Amino acid sequence: MAAALQILPRLARAPLRPLFLGGPVARLASGMALAEQARQLFESTVGAVLPGPMLHRALSLDLDSGQLKVRDRSFQLRQNLYLVGFGKAVLGMAAAAEELLGQHLVQGVISVPKGIRAAMEHAGKQEMLLKPHSRIQVFEGAEDNLPDRDALRAALAIRQLAEGLTADDLLLVLISGRGTPAAHRADRHQCHGCPHPIPAATVTA
């Protein structure tokens, strides 16, 4: 996927060689059409892997019944949903999740790379940021992708939230990056290590 994202912009900018006989106007029109198709393909590919659209493909909420569907599983929401997450794409995923879940989301804690919020603001990616009065607490840490005290504080906060839940609560876990394969192995729709069995659903990117 990364290679495709690198090649497509070059394809859109590359000088096009005529592949068929025709005058200069016909060749120019053909080249412009191909460049436009390449640009549209590039934009649709990037859009498909953005955190927000990915999360909306995995989650859906029936506002009338309060039923949350996570892929092929359904959960009844009664303002009893909590959220935790970690990874590079989790900030955008959490922003999309909070917008979708509304008042059903009670509290959340996410761990993201140091400096990611400033980077999103600088890039103008407001849709990747949480609202000012968000119910999700953000911990930045692991500078240069290395464990540090800030990352430890984030892990302890996530643990504290999970251990305080009851069997009537729901836990939504958002994971991106290198934690994804381990999450697939460990996910049994239970909160591991919690004092009570807690229904949990994992969304990975």
pLDDT digits (tens, 9 = 90+) for 64-90: 899 999 988 999 999 999 999 999 889
Inside any domain, residue 187: no
Cβ-based burial of 63 (10 A; exposed 0-12, middle 13-18, buried ≥19)? exposed
Low pLDDT (below 50) residues in the chain: 1-9, 11-12, 14, 16-21, 179-193
What is the pLDDT at residue 52? 78
Kindly report, residue by residue over 159-180, the tens digit of the pLDDT.
999 999 999 999 999 998 754 4
What is the pLDDT at residue 56? 83
Inside any domain, residue 15: no
Segments forming the whole domain that contains residue 61: 51-179+198-204
What is the pLDDT at residue 35? 75
As given in the structure block, the two tokens for residue 27 are: 């060749």
Inside any domain, residue 147: yes
What is the pLDDT at residue 49? 57
Inside any domain, residue 159: yes
Inside any domain, residue 5: no
Residue 153 maps to which CATH number? 3.40.50.10180
Inside any domain, residue 25: no
Inside any domain, residue 185: no
Q: How many domains does the structure of the chain reveal? A: 1
What is the pLDDT at residue 22? 56
Q: Each residue of 97-115: b (16+ CB within 10 Å) or e? A: bbebbeebbbebbbbbbbe
What is the pLDDT at residue 11? 43
Inside any domain, residue 172: yes
194 phi, psi to nearest 5 deg: -80, 150
